[in-house]
Structure 1
Amino acid sequence: MVSTRSTKRRSRSPATAPGPQPPTKKPARTRKKPGDRPLRSFNNVKIVLLDIEGTICPISWVKETLFPYALNALPDVLATKWDDEKFKTYRDGFPESARSSPGLFEEHVKDLTARDVKVAYLKDLQGYLWEDGYRSHAYSTPVYIDVLAWMDGLALSSATTDAQNTAVAIAIYSSGSTFAQKLLFQHIKDPAKPEDPTAVFDRRDIITAWFDTTNAGPKNESSSYTKIASELQRKPEEILFLSDNVKEVRAAIGAKFHAVVVDRPGNAPLSDADREEFQVVESFEQLDLR
């Protein structure tokens, strides 16, 4: 009998080559427990110069509470105080094209805020708008617990007669106006009473100097830090600068300051190169000032 099975060999499909594999995700960096974090030691530091946002309080609080409050308060201020003498000092700092009408002014403020442009005239206006929110207890400053403890420790150590010559002072350098800085320190939230909006305390007394981009200059330029050292009448190597921003820290180091990057939850992530280039702390508990 003749077989009815085909004599043709069945061709086999070639093995499918593996496609491109997705890049392997680097595991999220585990934050160390306080006791496991290395100390960062500094000798002969006389002044600690502090950034604010992302260093002593959360960036999220500034962006999610302060910025929206200013934008929400602005329309009423423009409707009722456009020609008010006090408001005009802030209004007239804006470009002429923006202050030609309340509507254009508001649009310009919204645009600058959305892009987080750190221009002095916007920062001055924000301080003006935030004042009412602080005074009405709409919000208060959530300073990190480790910062509060650190500031209390410095204040206590400098109160003794023996420590007068070795006491470490605190100064502030922020893109926010000096007026806004003082409001922030005047209305610090009491962590022991988180549910009470009126439970605040004033720590302006422990700050010896206030600097912003108007009286010091841009924070990314070394010349600004040189100017601050001159104003404080201190050698650059006697000043320690703390900030979450690597560009600011690099500029401070360029002026021969000691400088440290502060790595808080919610801050811009640091690259491996950043961690190689700079000293980094996650808490003020890691600071050892001798």
Structure 2
Amino acid sequence: MRLGERGESMFVAFQLRLAFREFIELAKLAGRSDKAAWAEVELKRYDELLEKYAWDGQWYLRAYREDGFKFGSATSEEGRIFMNAQTWAVISGHAQGERARQILEIMHRELATEYGIMLCAPPYTRTDHKIALARLMNPGNKENAGIFNHVQGWAVMAAAMAAMPDRAWEYLYQVMPARFNDIAEIREVEPYVVCQSTHSRFSRRFGKGRVSWLSGSAVWNYYAMTHVILGVQPDYTGLRLQPIIPAGWSACKLQRHFRGCHFDIEIRRGDCDQLQIECNGERMPGNLIPAERFQPSNRVVVTLPSVQH
């Protein structure tokens, strides 16, 4: 997109909102209540601006060009809805509760395919490439309504934050390399690596992967699996555990090295109403193992309800 020097990306705007949240938490941990108070005031003002300018009535805009032209609006003929603006609205914490679920359901309806979520839709076929550079790509390929794989992890994160665990696993499973073992003739990518992008349903090569071995997709796949599905989340004050394993999984095990300590973690379903954590035989009061409880080697058992609520 050609936004100009004074254009605004809503995708980046939501990333700035996340930065505000992190700044507030760090300031409080550092004992800088004055800095935290300043950021909280600024964040409230910033949220009002996001609601006024980023919300399009059903979903979030992708960007403004400096002359006011909107990308990703319901009134757009091409590039009507963009994935990144929706996922980051949720990840940033701006969209919560019913609003978060609403935009993710619309995103799923408009952009989801059996091979991953498209970056936008419909593709650019008539728009001047000086306005939308995506026009330079064939429809359904890469930035022009293709399935960009390194952003799929953001959909996993957003779905988990919106209390949609089955959808989160669906999104991750759809782009895992081994999932394509039986359809290699469609995928045309080695089944042990990820690729940068996949042709979407707007392409005659729907499902074919391109640019393997040169992608940030592997990192986000790893993050989505370990931090979101398995729920092992490094925290400033310890190790947080919030797994959302698929309903069909009864148990799983993993190991984690964190701050010089080793953790053997077992996640299983059991007879309980809410998540329970034991670390070295001691019940934790919440989902955080405080750093002061760490030992050189730790045995952790996470028990989830038999049916997740």
TM-score, normalisation: structure 2: 0.21
Structure number with higher relative contact order (C-alpha < 8 Å, ≥ 6 residues apart) = 1
Larger radius of gyration: 1
Structure with the largest fraction of strand: 2
